[in-house]
């Protein structure tokens, strides 16, 4: 057993025993390191300052939070300033090219610095690392560490090795007579990738999934600079078995595995105990969740996550109501519906329970009934359709036809959309998928019209290395056509969103206050003389720490997400189906327009909040932290295509 495994187990025991992480401030963290508490190696001695930037979906944000928690517990500190860091980590996304390009340019910028600072450690985590493997280091020799999303629990050990290796390289370099003009520093080459290991066994049990320890060892204590946290993500499934032909996720995040329900509930309880009142369950296809207790496997006294049995729950028009609930339901099985019910009933301190993302075909009535009958489960579904053309859905390997998708929307609304409590639905679409004709595109237009989404995340097809589509289909829709189709869908969705928003005007609603609005934070940052992309201004936001998401420094949590959303403008990036982001450039663009009209005076500030249907609500109130992270009642006074204006009751 390697030391990284010991660390994960130690950290799990430490945190599950309720011990707080060391209160490591930026300057004092090394001295206050946790070596005595862990009883392990002299971890504090190797403490370094880390800059961590996160790209992509909510799953990546959660991963960053979890690895950060581990690293802080091991004595590392974090800095929001890359120039001050001894260790630079990028948690990457490869779902679309745009996100990937940013990482390449960040790595390119580090080339010169590494020549001057051979001790600098650079790590690439996440989907890009998994997809490209060591070829990434060959292309970018500044990279010392590669860790795929399925191996993140190994990061502390790899980081320690890389720090030591680079220290000795730096010492060697210091002995050289004069600075060489060629790079003499080679990568420390610390690599942990899953390869296809997660798919090797077809058995139900996923024994030996050490990644579970990463979630289990989650720290609940506030991180550096953090107020009390009120909103958190909790992973319920990892990976994906759907293999949509355009999508890289099944290759980078591996086989679908489901976490033991007791682990999930325990995590929710611990979060609630630390002040969290809103939990968002994450998974690529959350409604596939199922844990078969008879097949559970224990390893080192810890129940292991379980591989997903191929799923045929939910059914649709084609099945004429046969599979309206998970067919494996029973006393010895926890279905997604059971899991929602259990969290709702066993953790009453969680006032809002949300989940993303749902796969449209497998959504049974059992889940809809649980949402209907449990008031603290939010009335919001994110169910990507991707296309309105049956021909393209087939080429995409989506596994359903438009009729089934529409049947699901009708069913969901029949169960959940009432005049007292509306249901809102959002979707994802890809335009310009190979061979998409005008006729296919018009079918998508028709679907968006029928579906009446709250909002849609619309992407131009981006051929991704490693996917089925890139090998099988030429990217034959010209860029100009993709762009005009993209714009047409956006314009259409904007009008629909506006109409949906107007239905809320005059209503009194409960909202969860996420923090200052984006514009308010920018204004405050500017007033403090900080750069406009600086920290989630004013210290409000219940965030996690100085994490940087898509190039924007965030204090984490949803307030931070909103900030990160700025970078996603242009409708190119959102991470939805990957347990992904709730923020689209679309939303943020509109929000900024609103903000400019409503400049707060004196001590008042503009806050951003969400309804339980996921509508964004802006209101002005006295500046300060008291509102943030609380549930408040507002009256909606105005609406535009993606935000509601409101007043506090
Ligand atoms: N090109 C464009 N969009 C993609 N998505 C996933 N892969 C691609 C791709 N290769 C979109 C899908 C998915 C969302 C997270 O990203 O719409 O639901
Ligand atoms: Fe899985 Fe979603 Fe990717 Fe399809 S689009 S392969 S369901 S993550």
| HEC assignment per residue over 343-362 | HHHHCCCCCEEEEECCCHHH
Atom of ligand 1 nearest to the CA of 575: 15
Residue 546: its pLDDT value, please? 40
Cβ within 8 Å of residue 85, ≥6 positions away: 48, 49, 50, 51, 79
Residue 217: its pLDDT value, please? 85
| Angle of CA points 368, 576, 231, to nearest 5° | 75
- Distance (Å, rounded) from C-alpha 53 to C-alpha 125? 10
Residue 526: CA count within 13 A, CB half-sphere:
7
Taking Cα atoms as reference points, which of 48, 50, 40, 46 lies closest to residue 7? 40
Q: Is the CB of 194 under 6 A from ligand 2?
A: no
Average pLDDT over residues 567-571: 27
Residue 185: its pLDDT value, please? 54
Give the lowest-confidence range in 236-250, 296-310, 508-522.
296-310
Q: Is the CB of 247 under 6 A from ligand 2?
A: yes
Atom of ligand 2 nearest to the CA of 240: 1
Average pLDDT over residues 538-546: 35
Q: Residue 121: helix, strand or coil by DSSP?
A: strand
Stronger pLDDT, 428 or 539, i.e. the higher one:
428
**Which of the listed ranges 197-211, 549-563, 589-603 does the model predict with the highest average pLDDT?**
197-211
Q: What is the DSSP string of 358-406?
A: --GGG--HHHHHHHHH-TTB-SEEE---B-S-HHHHHHTT-S--HHHHH
pLDDT of 38 higher than 90:
no
Q: Specify whether the CB–CB gap between 197 and 161 falls below 8 A.
A: no
**What does the DSSP 8-state code read for residue 315?**
-
Q: Residue 189: helix, strand or coil by DSSP?
A: coil
Q: Residue 19: helix, strand or coil by DSSP?
A: coil
- Torsion sign over Cα 470, 282, 356, 60: negative
pLDDT of 594 higher than 90:
no
The H or E element that residue 445 is part of is helix 438-451
Q: Predicted confidence band at 200 (pLDDT cuts at 50, 70, 90)?
A: low
User: What percent of the chain shows pLDDT beyond 90?
Assistant: 60
Angular region, 386: left φ>0, alpha ψ -120 to 50, beta rest: left
Q: What are phi and psi of 395, to 5 degrees?
A: -65, -30
- Distance (Å, rounded) from C-alpha 236 to C-alpha 246? 24
Rounded to the nearest 10°, the torsion over CA 411, 414, 420, 425 is 30
Average pLDDT over residues 393-410: 96
Cα–Cα distances in angstroms (integers) from residue 105 to residues 80, 110, 111, 181, in the given order: 19, 9, 10, 22
Ligand 1 centroid–CA 588 distance in Å is 20
Q: Residue 129: helix, strand or coil by DSSP?
A: helix
Q: Which two tokens stand for residue 52?
A: 């961590």
Pocket probe for ligand 2: among 130, 578, 580, 581, the residue whose CB has the most ligand atoms within 8 Å is 578
Q: Which two tokens stand for residue 315?
A: 């059914």
Q: Specify whether the CB–CB gap between 590 and 455 falls below 8 A.
A: no
Measured from the alpha carbon of residue 467, the closest ligand is 1
- Distance (Å, rounded) from C-alpha 441 to C-alpha 332? 45
Please write the tens of the pLDDT for every residue from 422-431. Answer: 999 999 999 9
Determine the number of helices (DSSP H) and then strands (DSSP E) in the chain: 20, 26
Cβ within 8 Å of residue 167, ≥6 positions away: 119
Question: For the whole model, what pTM was predicted?
Answer: 0.84
- Distance (Å, rounded) from C-alpha 509 to C-alpha 421? 10
Pocket probe for ligand 2: among 247, 314, 359, 430, the residue whose CB has the most ligand atoms within 8 Å is 247
Q: Predicted confidence band at 632 (pLDDT cuts at 50, 70, 90)?
A: very high
Q: Is the CB of 427 under 6 A from ligand 1?
A: no
Average pLDDT over residues 397-404: 96
Pocket probe for ligand 1: among 61, 94, 96, the residue whose CB has the most ligand atoms within 8 Å is 96
The H or E element that residue 483 is part of is helix 479-502
- Distance (Å, rounded) from C-alpha 525 to C-alpha 512? 23
Taking Cα atoms as reference points, which of 44, 43, 48 lies closest to residue 117? 48
Taking Cα atoms as reference points, which of 18, 17, 43 lies closest to residue 32? 43
Ligand 1 centroid–CA 127 distance in Å is 14
Q: What are phi and psi of 76, to 5 degrees?
A: -75, 155
Taking Cα atoms as reference points, which of 365, 367, 314, 307 lies closest to residue 340? 367
Average pLDDT over residues 33-46: 35
- Distance (Å, rounded) from C-alpha 173 to C-alpha 180? 9
Residue 46: its pLDDT value, please? 52
Average pLDDT over residues 412-420: 96
Q: Specify whether the CB–CB gap between 395 and 435 falls below 8 A.
A: yes
Nearest protein Cα to ligand 2, atom 4: 244
Longest dimension (CA), the chain: 79
Q: Predicted confidence band at 80 (pLDDT cuts at 50, 70, 90)?
A: very high
Residue 173: its pLDDT value, please? 67
Please write the tens of the pLDDT for every residue from 445-485. Answer: 999 999 999 999 999 999 999 999 999 999 999 999 999 99
Q: Residue 524: helix, strand or coil by DSSP?
A: helix
Ligand 1 centroid–CA 285 distance in Å is 14
What is the Cα 8 distance to its own chain's centre? Answer: 22
Q: Is the CB of 242 under 6 A from ligand 2?
A: yes
Q: Is the CB of 395 under 6 A from ligand 1?
A: no
What HEC string does 525-593 produce? HHHCCCCCCCCCCCCCCCCCCCEEECCEEECCHHHHHHHHHHHHCCCCCCCHHHCCCCCCHHHHHHHHH
Stronger pLDDT, 324 or 53, i.e. the higher one:
53
Q: Predicted confidence band at 39 (pLDDT cuts at 50, 70, 90)?
A: very low
Q: Predicted confidence band at 510 (pLDDT cuts at 50, 70, 90)?
A: very high
Query: If you count them, how many residues does the chain have?
Result: 649
Q: Which two tokens stand for residue 389?
A: 């053309």
Give the lowest-confidence range in 45-49, 132-136, 314-318, 583-587.
583-587
Please write the tens of the pLDDT for every residue from 291-305. Answer: 999 888 888 888 989
Residue 387: its pLDDT value, please? 98
């Amino acid at each position: 057993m390697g030391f990284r495994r010991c660390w994960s187990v130690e950290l799990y025991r430490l945190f599950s025993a309720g011990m707080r992480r060391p209160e490591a401030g930026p300057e004092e963290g090394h001295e206050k390191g946790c070596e005595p508490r862990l009883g392990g190696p002299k971890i504090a001695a190797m403490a370094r300052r880390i800059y961590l930037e996160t790209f992509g979906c909510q799953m990546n944000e959660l991963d960053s939070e979890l690895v950060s928690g581990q690293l802080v517990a091991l004595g590392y500190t974090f800095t929001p300033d890359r120039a001050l860091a001894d260790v630079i980590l990028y948690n990457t996304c490869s779902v679309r090219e745009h996100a990937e390009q940013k990482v390449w340019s960040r790595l390119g910028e580090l080339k010169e610095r590494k020549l001057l600072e051979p001790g600098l450690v650079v790590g690439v985590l996440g989907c890009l690392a998994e997809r490209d493997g060591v070829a990434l280091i060959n292309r970018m020799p500044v990279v010392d560490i590669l860790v795929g999303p399925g191996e993140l629990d190994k990061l502390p050990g790899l980081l320690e090795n890389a720090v030591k290796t680079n220290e000795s390289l730096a010492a060697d370099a210091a002995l050289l007579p004069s600075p060489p003009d060629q790079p003499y520093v080679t990568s420390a080459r610390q690599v942990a990738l899953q390869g296809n290991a997660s798919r090797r066994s077809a058995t139900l049990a996923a024994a030996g999934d050490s990644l579970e320890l990463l979630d289990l060892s989650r720290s609940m204590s506030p991180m550096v600079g953090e107020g009390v946290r009120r909103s958190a993500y909790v992973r319920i499934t990892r990976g994906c078995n759907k293999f949509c032909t355009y999508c890289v996720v099944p290759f980078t995040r591996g086989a679908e595995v489901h976490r033991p329900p007791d682990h999930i509930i325990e995590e929710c309880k611990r979060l609630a105990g630390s002040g969290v009142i809103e939990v968002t369950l994450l998974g690529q296809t959350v409604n596939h969740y199922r844990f078969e207790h008879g097949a559970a496997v224990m390893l080192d006294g810890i129940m292991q996550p379980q591989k997903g049995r191929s799923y045929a729950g939910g059914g649709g028009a084609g099945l004429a109501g046969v599979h309206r609930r998970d067919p494996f339901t029973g006393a010895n099985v926890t279905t997604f519906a059971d899991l929602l019910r259990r969290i709702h009933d066993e953790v009453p301190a969680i006032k809002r329970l949300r989940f993303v993302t749902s796969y449209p075909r497998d959504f049974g009535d059992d889940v809809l009934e649980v949402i209907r009958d449990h008031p603290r489960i939010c009335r919001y579904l994110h169910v990507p359709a991707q296309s309105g053309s049956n021909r393209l859905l087939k080429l995409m390997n989506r596994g359903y036809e438009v009729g089934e998708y529409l049947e699901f929307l009708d069913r969901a609304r029949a169960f959940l959309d009432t005049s007292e409590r509306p249901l809102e639905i959002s979707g994802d679409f890809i335009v310009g998928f190979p061979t998409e004709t005008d006729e296919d595109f018009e079918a998508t237009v028709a679907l968006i019209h029928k579906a009446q989404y709250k909002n849609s995340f619309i992407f131009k097809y981006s051929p991704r290395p490693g996917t089925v589509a890139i090998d099988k289909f030429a990217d034959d829709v010209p860029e100009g056509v993709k762009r005009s189709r993209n714009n047409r869908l956006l314009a259409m969705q904007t009008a629909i969103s506006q109409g949906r928003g107007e239905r809320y005007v005059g209503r009194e609603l409960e909202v969860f206050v996420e923090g200052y609005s984006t514009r308010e934070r920018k204004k405050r940052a500017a007033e403090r003389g900080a750069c406009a992309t600086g920290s989630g201004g004013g210290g409000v936001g219940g965030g996690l720490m100085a994490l940087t998401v898509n190039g924007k420094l965030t204090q984490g949590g949803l307030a931070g997400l909103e900030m990160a959303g700025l970078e996603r403008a242009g409708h190119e990036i959102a991470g939805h189906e990957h347990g992904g982001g709730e923020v689209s450039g679309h939303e943020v663009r509109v929000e900024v327009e609103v903000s400019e009209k409503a400049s707060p005076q004196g001590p008042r500030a503009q806050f951003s909040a969400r309804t339980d249907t996921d509508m964004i609500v802006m209101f002005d109130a006295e500046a300060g932290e008291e509102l943030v992270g609380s549930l408040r009642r507002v009256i909606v006074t105005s609406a535009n295509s993606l935000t509601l204006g409101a007043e506090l009751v």
